[in-house]
Structure 1
């Protein structure tokens, strides 16, 4: 089982408002932890890595690089992908993208009668590019590039939608059909 802690809200900065503490995480039930655009306070990664099989950090912040570089207290089970030329959103999309496509094929195989996991809903190949485009626009705003056509309008419109990104509050957001239709906006 894995746990993901993210710098949640697409509007940069919102995820940092909530202070995560190791004692609030169900680490005894987890083997893999993913920290997306978030490394937590001092000592956070070291403490988590001592209690789980693996920790994967996907981040783009200078502070993450400074916090984690040369830190001897961080275990060998920590994988770091820190790229200050991309947003945390696109780093995560690239990292998990191939897994999403592979799992969508598993779902299709299950429908055809194979032994794959029942009820799995993942991103179909036909929607992958649209999701990638969405993430490129999010990155364009997050890094203040504004290089893509209508990027400021897109970012403003996304913010105006006032979407609740917390899965515990708005579980329907990540339902495949709702998410895919949002890409058509």
Structure 2
């Protein structure tokens, strides 16, 4: 047996689900919304046994919810799936629905004591998945002697991959016992979805080793606003269609567009040489009104600065409120811009750092 929760109740509740998903809460920014609470009330009335909560707005959480959805659909088991956000989280009393037997926490373990209290009040089994180092370091806060609670925290595998493996194994076991075989994903979707999970895991585990991982993550970020299955009832259908190739293409186009804008900007403005305070001269530019391009402009300036025989640093300056913010970028692996930023109370990484600077001090750095 397993659990399932979705804004679309599987099986007997399809018509009711259509009505519920059409009722969008007026509190669009809240996740303890009227629509979510109404779906929980209906689930209690219909004694829905399976509840799935997924971390929002996490891609591992959303894909994990997809796999829970597919699992319960294969077995025709009613379940309710809801996003769980720390912005306005659901409460234990919200989830105490009649007939609840299992509750999954996907890509998070809930607030301290949350799972234990839910299991105590409902006698349901709670199964949680996570992959974060911070969760592992705090795992002692979640441990108790409740045999109904199981946590699967794997630092070598993202939650989405762990949940996929879990539901695949459970579906295979249950189908085999009935003399049938079944796969969680159709053959045409399997390789594509597995590749997406591989790339999501590369980011989740902070490895950043796969080809075009930056472009992939940029393309994927466009989906973040769609990960709420309450306001987006077609979420699971959409996730099944995502491909690494398309996301990389979108990310590459975005990067190229930004780079083109940065190049055009630099062609129109006067670049100055900055000296004092930078331990050697480099090229800099004021970009008031174009701060969103600071990274691309800074990197291009870094290359131009090196080509001009100056330090391989690009300095981008713009007004932030009443202050001047200076962003330092370098494309040279031997140059540490953060050493400069720290002197002025800022910080960052070797290739990307920033700090606040007074106008009079900035003017003293200018050399022509």
Smaller-chain TM-score bracket:
0.7 to 0.9
Q: Whose radius of gyration is greater, 1 or 2? A: 2
The alignment partner of 1:27 has SS state of coil
Report what 2:277 is aligned to: none
Deviation of the 1:146 alpha carbon: 1.0
User: 1:61-110 deviations in whole A, cap 9, x for unaligned?
Assistant: 234334443856451011221112222222212212344678999xxx8x
User: Conserved in 2, the CA contact under 8 Å of 1:20 and 1:40?
Assistant: no
Instruction: Show the counterpart of 1:116.
Output: none
Residues 76 and 135 of structure 1, relative CA distance in 2, 3 Å threshold: same
Provide the rounded CA distance (Å) in 2 between the counterparts of 1:17 and 1:167. Answer: 16
Which of the residues 52, 61, 64 maps onto 2:123?
A: 52
Match of 1:23 in 2: 93
Match of 1:153 in 2: 215
Task: Report if the CA contact (8 A) 2:96-2:118 is conserved.
Answer: no
> Structure 1 residues 128 and 104, CA, compared in 2 at 3 Å: closer, same or farther?
farther
Structure 2 partner of 1:10: 58
The answer as to whether partners of 1:37 and 1:59 remain within 8 angstroms in 2 is yes
Match for residue 153 of structure 2?
A: 82
Cα 1:103–1:153 change in 2 (3 A) is farther
Q: Paired residue for 1:180?
A: 240
- Maintained 8 Å contact 1:10/1:138: no
Equivalent residues of 1:60, 1:82 under 8 A apart: yes
Q: Which has the higher contact order (CA 8 A, sep 6+)?
A: 1
2:229 match: 167
- Flag structure 2 segments of 5+ consecutive residues without an equivalent: 1-48, 62-83, 247-368
Aligned residue for 2:152, secondary structure, equals strand
User: What value does the CA root-mean-square deviation take over the aligned residues?
Assistant: 3.0
Match of 1:123 in 2: 185
Matched, 1:132 2:203: no
How far apart are 1:18 and its partner, in Å?
A: 3.6
- For 1:34, what is the secondary structure of its paired residue? strand
Q: CA deviation at 1:151?
A: 1.0
**Equivalences, count:** 168
1:5 is paired with a residue of what secondary structure?
strand
